[in-house]
Amino acid sequence: MKKYFISIDCAEPKIEVNLNGLNSSLIDGIESKYSYKIINDNVMVLRMDNLNFYFDFNSEGNEYLQIGLNGRVYDVDCKSDLDVLIEKMSGNKTDGKAVKEIKSPMPGIIKKVNVASGQDVAKGEVLLVLEAMKMENEIKAIVDCKIKKVNVEQMSSVEKNELLIILE
Amino acid sequence: MFRKILIANRGEIAVRIINTAREMGIKTVTVYSDFDEYSLYTKLSDESYHIGESPASKSYLMADKIIETAKISGAEAIHPGYGFLSERSFFAKLCSDNGIEFIGPDHNAIELLGSKTDAKTLAINNKVPVVPGSGKPLTDISEIRKIAKEVGYPVLIKASAGGGGKGMRIVRSENEIEEALRIARSEAKSSFGDDSIFVEKYIDVPRHIEFQILADKHGNVIHLGERECSMQRRHQKIIEETPSVIVNEELRNEMGECAKRLVKASGYSNAGTVEFIVDRNNKFYFLEVNTRLQVEHPITEIRTGLDLVREQLKIAWGEKLDLEQEDIEFRGSVIECRICAEDSENNFIPSTGKITNINKVLGSGMREDTGIEQGDTVSVFYDPMIAKLISYGKDRLSAINRMKRALSQYKIDGIKTNISFLLDLLESPEFIDGNYHTQFIESKFLERLKAKDRPDELTSRALALAAALRAENKKPRQSINGTSEYSHWASKRTENLR
């Protein structure tokens, strides 16, 4: 079951969407049947409980995904449960304390190591690529920082919570 | 009739002119800048010539180059569209000096009407009301007082050398004038070194209402009714409609006759627009004449059933108007919305970029004039207006509802547009009641917009699901043989389509 957390126009709390895989979803606890078609990168038609929604997407150059519906545009922030986990693990949600360690958010294989000890990295830079459940997840620097030590190498398999990188 | 004309313009208006020319069997020549090499209007015309770099000053404003192109291509006439060289008397003269017909008025009429003071004098001489005032700069306080009293408060006093609001004051009653004059004159003196002052009646919450006229070269003039253009932001029209809710038949006749008198007196031929401001008591005052086709001309075309470009071409060719004033029939209600590439939520800054997608459903009763298509880029070089939507209804409410419907079905991606802003305007009680003026957006409406409506619960759920499904499909997934499922799926789909 795939889980996503969505915020529309920065509204809180986020809407929780569970995709069950059988064209059925649980949105904030309400079950809906759906079908959909992606027409192109910008256009999708969604039929949710037989109600039609003809969306268009605009993501280039914007902080949020912009979804258009009936002439109105909404700023939408969408994170998967893994994104949320990665954020937590890499310290995005720390309460002001400096991040010193980056741990693996889930078991998987390190597909790529982009940094080395002693390297300065800027916020947003991709440090590692972790493959888990056949999906590649980029682990990014949350703040400008300096790498003290990289504990893993390419193709090493890691467990959940395993220490990946130590920061100075 | 002309066999070939050159269009000294670009974008939607070039497309508009090409369409009528084609229908009349006239060949079209277009000119393009670097940027416009393959823009829609070039592709739709018969011949295209490169005339320079992307900035308009190095292409569409190069009069000599355009004249030269007309000669090389064998075009017999030039249609200037709007903007660029359309109201430059020297260009009209250059055309006639080179034996090319300028599709517009004679250069003398452009020059006369292009001068605000000459146009105002012409209006006064032809009994067309102008905003009452001193008409000339004054320095004598008692004379200023006297005129202020004559025209009636509130009055506007402005430095004769002024500009940009400096030295300008609204005076609402007689006991304020002494102080206001003192400040205005000292500001004027320090800013411009000239303390002479104009005084005129201040028109509070004015409406902008204009009349379309057609004049042939044989002295016949008709008007095609009014256009209400008060929905403006920073003097830029956003929504236009006809008829105006405040213009009844009597006022229409009165204003229309004034417009005709003025145009006739200037020795004008071709299409033109006489602009008026109208105060809250429906008193109207002449503002200026636009000696060209207007952006908003389609609403008049729909309401009268006429093709204004066709009329322009016939007039330029020397034909007599085959319509008299009594022949003009007005039908229904028409609205135009200007779709602009701008970020309405971020101080209306222009939005540039590649248009990755356009989907629209125009349907019955809608017209669209546009010069762009999917894959085009919106640049910083030219006007941000990318399309005009025009809706017709048998009455005003049907026209509004139809416009709202079409706007809500208009999808354009890759750039930001003002579509949502237009919908907000159309839904405002002031617009619905027709109770708005040129200061409405800036004085009232923008403030209101800051409290943005949240989507309802059902819409939120659908948006959330759409975002999740999109994220789900965006993921690069590794399959066993190493190709991504996403592209595999895509290629499978293409196969099925064949």
CB-based contact B256:B282 (threshold 8 Å): no
Q: State how far the Cα of B389 lies from the Cα of B395, in Å rounded to an integer.
A: 17
Structure confidence by residue, pLDDT tens digits, B267-294: 999 999 999 999 999 999 999 999 999 9
What CA–CA distance (Å, rounded) separates A108 from A136?
10
> Is the pLDDT reported for residue B415 higher than 70?
yes
Q: Is the pLDDT of residue B109 over 50?
A: yes
Number of residue pairs across A and B with CB atoms under 8 Å?
135
Structure confidence by residue, pLDDT tens digits, B202-219: 998 999 999 999 999 999
pTM score, two decimals?
Answer: 0.81
Catalytic (active-site) positions of B: 292
Contact B353 A61 (CB under 8 A): yes
Tell me if residue A151 falls in helix, strand or coil: coil
Nearest by CB to A65, from B454, B460, B467: name it: B467
User: Band of the pLDDT at A145, cuts 50, 70, 90?
Assistant: confident
Q: Is the confidence at residue B492, as pLDDT, over 90? A: no
- Say if residue B196's pLDDT is above 70: yes
Which pLDDT score is estimated for B143?
Answer: 87
The pLDDT value given to residue B166: 66
DSSP-assigned beta bridge partners for residue B274: B211, B289
Nearest to B47 by CA among B67, B23, B73: B73
Check pLDDT > 50 for residue B497.
no
Model ipTM?
0.76
Q: Is residue A89's pLDDT more than 90? A: no
Least confident piece of the model among B89-98, B183-192, B397-406: B183-192
Burial B341-364 (b: 16+ CB within 10 A, else e): bbbbbeebeebbbebbbbbbeeee
- Considering only B22-31, B247-256, B452-461, which range has the smallest mean pLDDT? B452-461
Tell me which of A50, A78, A80, A137 to substitute to probe the interface with B (most B C-beta atoms closer than 10 Å).
Answer: A78
What local confidence, expressed as pLDDT, does residue A61 receive? 62
Cβ B226 vs Cβ B213: under 8 Å:
no
What confidence category does residue A146 fall into, taking pLDDT thresholds of 50, 70 and 90? Answer: confident
Q: What is the pLDDT of residue A99?
A: 66
Shortest Cα–Cα distance, B461 to chain A (Å):
6
Distance from CA of B356 to the nearest CA of A (A): 7
- Residues B14-66: pLDDT tens digits? 999 999 999 999 999 999 999 999 999 999 999 999 999 999 999 999 999 99
Q: Answer yes or no: is pLDDT of B491 > 60.
A: no
Q: What is the pLDDT of residue A109?
A: 85
A44 to B466: CB separation less than 8 angstroms, yes or no: yes
**DSSP symbol at A100:** -
Residues in B closer than 8 angstroms to A51, CB to CB, are 458, 462
Contacts of A65 in chain B (CB under 8 A): 467, 470
Distances (CA, A) of A75 to A63, A67, B197: 9, 7, 51
Chain B residue with the nearest C-alpha to that of A61: B414
Q: What is the mean pLDDT of chain B?
A: 91
What value does the mean pLDDT take over residues A35-44? Answer: 91
Contact B420 A72 (CB under 8 A): yes
- CB distance B342 to B416 below 8 Å: yes
Q: What is the pLDDT of residues B340-349, one digit of tens each?
A: 999 888 888 8
Which residues 115-134 on chain A approach chain B with CB closer than 8 angstroms? 131, 134
In this complex, is the C-beta atom of B68 within 8 Å of any C-beta atom belonging to chain A?
Answer: no
Binary contact (A58, B416; C-beta < 8 A): yes
Give per-residue pLDDT as tens, A96-109.
455 678 888 777 88
